[in-house]
């Protein structure tokens, strides 16, 4: 649920669990003139480490009951996996991603590598096992409820640290501006999450608690699906003379400022101040609410991979030096693009998509 940027180089981002139903209509390859686009970020190399796979997506009129026999309304087979999807998004937005992961030397593994490479993702750091199977997921997309159900089969054998040599690791990191992990090391992630969240009685106080427990953390984002996201950013300058404000009351006041008539993603922010909650120390920073695009039900197709697209867009925004006020709506817009097409990657926009023009 939470994404974080940690400060020594290279920057590190962890995967949120986002299902955003907010997004722009899908453009196949409508393009803006390259002259109208801002320049690409100077530092464009991003290293990712995490899951890849093949998605078998079947749309159905409604989810089947036990022992039912039904027909699909559409079928698609394409690459998937959190890291694979996020770095595909990064590549389409103009960055140069490298990915560390593992597949088997089977038909699915070959298709995973080919699809990533065709989108501009560097797969030279993959581990390819001569035995076992590559990961894959069956995804049932319910056209009635606009939900998707995933049945995942992990790859085997799993990636272990010893399979990546020190020289390979250093080569993968060479020139990288940012490192992205998708949180698939769940045993470690659970320990960290429990430690960071256990004593936090509410979502706002949990964000405060995380920044206090992890002093190098610059910001945290919690995603709320169709309700957008909340971001807490640490500020490093000043703070001693700033007013102390309860974070719960501040969040409610920001919610009152939302313009419900707007359909495009927006961002509402507080001033920099000392934020507090009952029983928790203060953090000097800013609170943000990011809204999601309101998609007409007739245009919503599939939410698969919306969170991966959101993270990919955040990675691009950080490399481009976007402030949070610009980053959150941009990420919501990119994440939303895929919601109008079947599968995690079909609707991922390219940098030249005209729907991104105002956000870039």
pLDDT at 328: 97
Is position 333 within any domain?
no
Report residue 65's pLDDT band, with 50, 70 and 90 as the boundaries: very high
The closest of 145, 181, 74, 84 to 303, measured between CA atoms, is 145
Token pair recorded at residue 358: 């105002």
Tally of CB atoms within 10 A around 206: 22
Is position 349 within any domain?
no
The pLDDT tens digits for 259-287 are 999 999 999 999 999 999 887 788 999 99
Q: What is the DSSP letter of 270?
A: P
pLDDT over 90 at 233, yes or no: yes
Token pair recorded at residue 270: 């507080």
pLDDT at 237: 75
Mean pLDDT of the chain: 85
Is position 275 within any domain?
yes
Report residue 1's pLDDT band, with 50, 70 and 90 as the boundaries: very low
Q: Helices (H), strands (E): how many in the chain?
A: 8, 17
Single pTM value for the model: 0.83
Token pair recorded at residue 194: 């429990």
Is position 84 within any domain?
no
Domain housing 218: 202-292
Is position 19 within any domain?
no
Task: Kindly write down the DSSP assignment for every residue of 147-209, as one continuous string.
Answer: EEEEEEE--BSPP-GGGS-HHHHHHHHTT-SEEEE-S--HHHHHHHHHHHHTT--SHHHHHHH
Is position 312 within any domain?
no
Token pair recorded at residue 218: 């610059």
Determine contact, residues 150/137, Cβ cutoff 8 Å: yes
Report residue 183's pLDDT band, with 50, 70 and 90 as the boundaries: confident
The pLDDT tens digits for 13-45 are 444 333 333 333 334 444 666 667 888 898 899
Determine the Cα–Cα distance for residues 334 and 345; give it in Å rounded to an integer.
11
Is position 281 within any domain?
yes
pLDDT at 220: 92
The alpha helices in the chain, defined as continuous H runs, are 82-92, 107-118, 166-173, 186-197, 203-213, 247-256, 306-319, 324-337
pLDDT over 60 at 257, yes or no: yes
Is position 253 within any domain?
yes
Domain count, the chain: 1
């Amino acid at each position: 649920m939470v994404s974080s940027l940690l400060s020594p180089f290279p920057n590190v981002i962890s995967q949120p669990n986002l299902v955003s139903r907010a997004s722009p209509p899908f453009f196949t390859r409508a393009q803006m003139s390259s002259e109208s686009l801002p320049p690409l970020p100077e530092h464009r190399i991003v290293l990712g480490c995490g899951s890849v796979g093949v998605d078998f997506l079947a749309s159905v009129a409604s989810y089947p009951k036990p022992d039912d026999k039904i027909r699909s309304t559409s079928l698609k087979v394409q690459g998937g996996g959190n890291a694979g999807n996020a770095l595909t998004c990064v590549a389409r937005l103009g960055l140069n991603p490298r990915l560390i992961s593992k597949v088997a030397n089977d038909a699915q593994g070959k298709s995973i590598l080919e699809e990533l490479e065709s989108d501009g993702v560097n797969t030279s750091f993959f581990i390819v096992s001569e035995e076992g199977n590559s990961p894959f997921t069956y995804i049932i997309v319910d056209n009635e409820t606009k939900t998707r159900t995933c049945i995942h089969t992990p790859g085997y054998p799993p990636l272990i640290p010893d399979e990546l040599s020190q020289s390979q690791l250093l080569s993968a990191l060479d020139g990288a501006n940012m490192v992205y992990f998708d949180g698939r090391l769940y045993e470690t992630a659970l320990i960290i999450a429990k430690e960071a969240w256990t004593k936090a009685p509410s979502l706002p106080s949990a964000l405060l608690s995380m920044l206090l427990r992890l002093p190098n953390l610059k910001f945290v984002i919690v995603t709320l699906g169709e309700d957008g996201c909340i971001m807490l950013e640490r500020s490093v300058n000043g703070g001693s003379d700033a007013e102390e404000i309860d974070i719960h009351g501040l969040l409610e006041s920001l919610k009152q400022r939302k313009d419900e008539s707007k359909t495009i993603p927006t961002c509402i922010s507080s001033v920099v101040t000392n934020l507090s909650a009952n029983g928790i120390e203060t953090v000097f920073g800013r609170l943000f609410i990011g809204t999601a695009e309101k998609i007409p039900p007739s245009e919503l197709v599939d939410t698969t991979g919306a969170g991966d697209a959101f993270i990919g867009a955040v990675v691009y925004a950080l490399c481009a030096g976007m402030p949070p006020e610009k980053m959150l709506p941009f990420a919501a817009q990119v994440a939303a693009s895929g919601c109008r097409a079947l599968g995690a990657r079909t609707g991922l926009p390219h940098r030249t998509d005209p729907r991104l023009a105002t956000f870039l």
